[in-house]
Amino acid sequence: MIRGRWGICVAAATVAIFCGLSPRPLHAADEAAALRAFAKAQRAASPAPRLPRGAFQLEPTTTSVVLSPDGSRLAWLHQNGRSREVWSRTLAGDATPRRLLGNTGAREITWTRDSRWLLLQSPREVFALAARGQAGSGIVVTLGGQAKRELIAVDGSHDAAVLTIEQSGMTMQGTPDAWLLQRVDARGRRTQLWRDRQRITDAATDAQGRLLWLQLVDGTAQVLYRFENGHPRAVLRCEDLHRCGLLTAMPDGGAWLRGDIGGDLLRLQALSSDGRLRDVQGDPRGIADVDEVVFDPATNRPRFVAYRSAVPMLQGLDAADAAPLAALQAKLPGRDLDLQAAPNAWLVEERGSALQGRRWHLFDPRTRTLDFLFDDAPTFARGGKPATHIPAAAVANVLPVSWHASDGMQLHGFLTLPPGRDAATLPLVVNVHGGPWSHWRPEFRAVTQMLANRGYAVFEPNPRSSTGHGRAYVMGAGSDFGNGRVQQDIVEGTRWLLANGIGDANRAGITGASFGGYSTLLGVTFQPELFKVGAAMVPPPDFGWVLRWILRNPEALQLGNVVPMHDWARMMGVDPADAATMTRLHAQSPLANAARMRRPLLIAAGGEDQRVGIAGIIEYAARLKLAGSDASLLVDADAGHSNREPVAREAWLFELEQLFHAHLGGAAPQPPDGEIRAYLRMGLRMAGKDFSQFSDATAR
């Protein structure tokens, strides 16, 4: 996905502080007090009704809603059965929605600067759709392919054009001969703006369409160049994985950045043409990176800065926006608000950790009126049954939590508790995110909410190496990804909750996907006294092995982002060429310690997974079977690293219910229907005690 709604604007956030908690970093006593207050409030709440599994797996029908830069029109994608349609309506006069296109493969849309064209982006192309009745719709540019062409921004200097980067030719060493920066207009006409032997990663033009800023990769550094009379001059060099993301050019010739130069957290920074760098806005709490920045489409100046690593927060940069923003936040308290700002209207996307799906509103900053537009409520669930979103009153509340690790570092995460229950008596499930270089955000998560609905307390930690909390946080793990510092953060957070009256210490389990699955395998192997059961989806059984495997496949360039992944991994402390590090990671891996894994374990894998090879998982499962472990393995032969098929997703929820009911004493699952049973029977390659009734795999 390209930057900031294709360079025009975007950002998130809210505002209200959950349960009245202060957003400032808390001391240990305050952390514990906040935790107890939350548990007390949830215990006093009315219990939620038990909901069917399918209620947590609904797919939205409305996506990618966009407001034209002139504030006159809306457009959106709507899923209608197997067809994805493009719709539009005006904001004044006849506001009747009109279908512009009956079927498209686009995943997101945006407006051109002149508000006359809609650009539809799919993985393979950008299609320009006439939005005001003019003729000439058609493909603007193809994406991917041998040139690995990618879209980076809508060109703000032209009425209807985009900027693309592509590779040109290949050297004998298999690297690109050159990188090309091009402007492509709505008719598909191309203009080459720059060609370079070094990798181009970003660019910005001035108001006349001339190339003003260019970002290149030089070894392991990113370098920002400013053009003067057509010639580039190096202005800023970002070394050692410091971040300096180019957002857009300033009218005076400077550049807006999202960077961490001179500090730890990502901030909105202003870079002058002579190289002076100043901070414009950063998290006043000192705990979260700037997530996104909302730009004014007319003036190209930043108006709002969003944070969403813990408690979502939106700050205005213009005094004139202060009162309208406060009024908006008062109307939608406690929500995560994503804004698109036009001259006389704000499009508001409403989200929240306790709100399934999204809602869109139109806000008038002059009159302070808020009009509901529509939501993404699904019309059908799996099997064609009519469906609606879960009512907010039936969704479990979520608390952002922080705790201190044994070495003193403050860590962050989320706790979800079912209403009407005593937290101290609940079984506790730890849900670990993937990555590990990612993070849990304050948003609705189906697995967490389903488990809470079944009576589990759910802890979602953001251990060291998680993003969103600054450079020191993400790099704090070093190379300690075995049974070391990262896993210790998760374990210490779990024990902190138990010590403060959250969960029954004799009924704790762990789950996760990808790196979260790896952490699950570590937990049931090395902390069996704490984690009584585990459920791992697409887990690498050896972290060092999977790093080496990724570097040998085509995804490596994308995963490494702007710095080559070999260099990026080395700088992050997990150099696959470092024999000592790889030996230690293997010695601490679940694969090398399969014989000591004695807890019940469920593993799900994809036969077409390009990140975690199926061969490694099968080898690990075989070692578990030889050791006599109570383990189950389900393989979906057609699935990749993620699986969006409705049957597969609901089957995983059933498996979690079945496993955790058997070993943690949670609610018993409703029996699976015939389609889920058939899926399990086909996929279970190895069935432990909890799943033997659904498979004949035990006889294989």
Residue pointed to by tokens 């058997």: 662
Q: Are 412 and 400 in contact (CB under 8 A)?
A: yes
| DSSP reduced 3-state for 642 | coil
Report the C-alpha gap between 17 and 22 in whole angstroms: 7
Residue 174's pLDDT is what?
62
**In the 8-state DSSP scheme, what is residue 144?**
B
Residue 306 inside a domain? The answer is no
pLDDT per position as a tens digit, 367-390: 999 999 999 988 777 777 778 899
Q: Where in the sequence is the domain holding 666, given as residue range(s)?
A: 18-47+396-542+589-699
pLDDT of residue 367: 96
**CATH number of the domain that residue 668 is part of:** 3.40.50.1820
Say if 428 falls within a structural domain: yes
| 341-358: b (≥16 Cβ within 10 Å) or e | bbeebbbbbbbbbbbbbb
Which tokens go with 561? 């982002």
| Residue that finishes a domain, picked among 287, 308, 334 | 287
In a domain, 353, yes or no: no
Least Cα distance to 119 among 158, 148, 82, 81 occurs for 158
The crossing angle, in degrees rounded to 10, of helices 446-453 and 646-664 is 40
Q: Residue range 120-140: average pLDDT?
A: 88
> How far apart are alpha carbons 520 and 518 in whole angstroms?
5
**675 inside domain:** yes
d(CA 657, CA 177): 53
- SS3 at position 206: coil
Q: Is residue 564 part of a domain?
A: no
Q: Which tops the pLDDT comparison, 556 or 108?
A: 108
Q: Is the pLDDT of residue 556 over 70?
A: no
424 exposure class (CB count in 10 Å sphere: 0-12, 13-18, 19+): middle
Domain boundary among 269, 287, 305: 287
In angstroms, the CA 614 to CA 606 distance is: 7
pLDDT, tens digit, for every residue of 474-523? 999 999 999 999 999 999 999 999 999 999 999 999 999 999 999 999 99
Q: Of 143-147, 451-455, 632-636, 649-653, give the lowest mean pLDDT range.
A: 143-147
Is residue 558's pLDDT more than 60?
no
Domain endpoint, select from 272, 287, 302 = 287
The pLDDT score that the predictor gives to residue 95 is 86
pLDDT at site 81? 84
pLDDT tens digits, residue range 184-222? 998 899 999 999 999 999 999 999 999 999 999 999 999
User: What would the pLDDT profile of 134-178 be if each residue is shown by its tens digit?
Assistant: 777 888 899 888 888 999 999 988 989 999 999 988 766 667 789
Residues 272 and 403 in one domain: no
- DSSP class per residue in 388-425: -PPPGGGSPEEEEEEEE-TTS-EEEEEEEE-TTS-GGG
pLDDT of residue 9: 29
Residue 147 is predicted with a pLDDT of: 82
Q: What is the pLDDT of residue 18?
A: 28
Paired tokens of 410: 């403050």
What pLDDT was estimated at residue 139? 86
Task: State how far the alpha carbon of 330 is from the alpha carbons of 16, 237, 359, 361, 368, in Å.
Answer: 8, 42, 16, 14, 11
SS3 265: coil
Q: Please report whether residue 136 resides in a domain.
A: no
Domain annotation covers residue 415: yes
Q: Which two tokens stand for residue 404?
A: 């201190």
Regarding whether 409 and 535 lie in a shared domain, the answer is yes
- Between the alpha carbon of residue 557 and those of residues 150, 163, 192, 368, 551, the distances in Å are 13, 20, 24, 47, 8
pLDDT at residue 679, rounded to an integer:
97
Give the model confidence (pLDDT) of 574-632 as tens digits: 999 999 999 999 999 999 999 999 999 999 999 999 889 999 999 999 999 999 999 99
Tell whether 212 is covered by a domain: yes
Give residue 392's pLDDT band: very low, low, confident or very high (50, 70, 90). Answer: confident
Do residues 347 and 365 touch, judged by C-beta distance below 8 A?
no
The distance in angstroms from the start CA to the end CA of the chain is 44
Report pLDDT digits (tens) over 497-510. 999 999 999 999 99
Q: What whole-number distance in Å separates Cα of residue 36 and Cα of residue 502?
A: 8
Per-residue pLDDT of 44-53, as tens digits, reads 999 999 999 9
- The helix (run of H) or strand (run of E) holding residue 63 is strand 62-67
348 has a pLDDT exceeding 60: yes
According to the model, what pLDDT value does residue 552 have? 76
Compute CA 443 distance to the chain's CA centroid, rounded to the nearest angstrom. Answer: 10
Strand order in the sheet with 125-130: 108-111, 117-121, 125-130, 138-142
Distant-in-sequence, close-in-space partners of 407: CB < 8 Å, separation ≥ 6: none
* Domains identified in the chain, total number: 2
CA dihedral 402, 403, 407, 409 (to 10 degrees): 10
Q: How far apart (Å, rounded) are the C-alpha atoms in residues 636 and 606?
A: 5
Indicate the burial class of 692 (C-beta count within 10 angstroms; 0-12, 13-18, 19 or more): middle
pLDDT at 114: 92
Q: What is the mean pLDDT of residues 72-92?
A: 93
Question: What percentage of residues in the chain have a pLDDT greater than 90?
Answer: 78
Q: What is the mean pLDDT of the chain?
A: 90
Q: Is the pLDDT of residue 555 over 70?
A: no
Per-residue tokens: 116: 């006359």
Q: Are residues 644 and 514 in the same domain?
A: yes
Residue 526 to residue 599: CA distance in whole angstroms: 10
CA-angle at 636, arms to 376 and 380, nearest 5°: 25
| Arithmetic mean of pLDDT, 19-34 | 64
